Amino acid sequence: EVQLVESGGGSVQAGGSLRLSCAAFGYTAGRWCVAWFRQAPGKEREAVAAITTDGGRTLYADSVKGRFTISRDNTKNTLYLQMNSLVPEDTAMYYCAARTPYCSLREGAFHYWGQGTQVTVSS
């Protein structure tokens, strides 16, 4: 059973930065896709970014391209999301998710989910 534990959320002013982390436990061997999703109050959950554990292929939602960077440290089984130039519209609960072996930003394809970490951006 894969377990995902997010951390790093918090409150920041517009224009600021935050780095989220997601520690993964229980991975089996093979290729994995790990991703960040977010859900703002009253809105549906949406994809933010995804990365493969082999080769580091990345996918980004248009709304975060150029501002957010997804990365992973396979030695630590940890996923990161560096968020720069934050705007109030980035306020949401951020979730880490994992699937194997294919990678996409399609929410329904992910098998494992963390509990989320809150990000609040004030103007």
User: How far is residue 12 CA from its own chain's centroid?
Assistant: 18
pLDDT of residue 122: 97
**Among candidates 120, 116, 82, which has minimal Cα distance to 97?**
116
pLDDT of residue 31: 85
Dihedral sign for Cα 108, 113, 118, 121, please.
Answer: negative
Cα 13 from Cα 4, distance rounded (Å): 27
pLDDT of residue 49: 97
pLDDT of residue 39: 98
Give the residues of the chain that fall short of pLDDT 50: none
pLDDT of residue 26: 86
Cα 39 from Cα 44, distance rounded (Å): 6
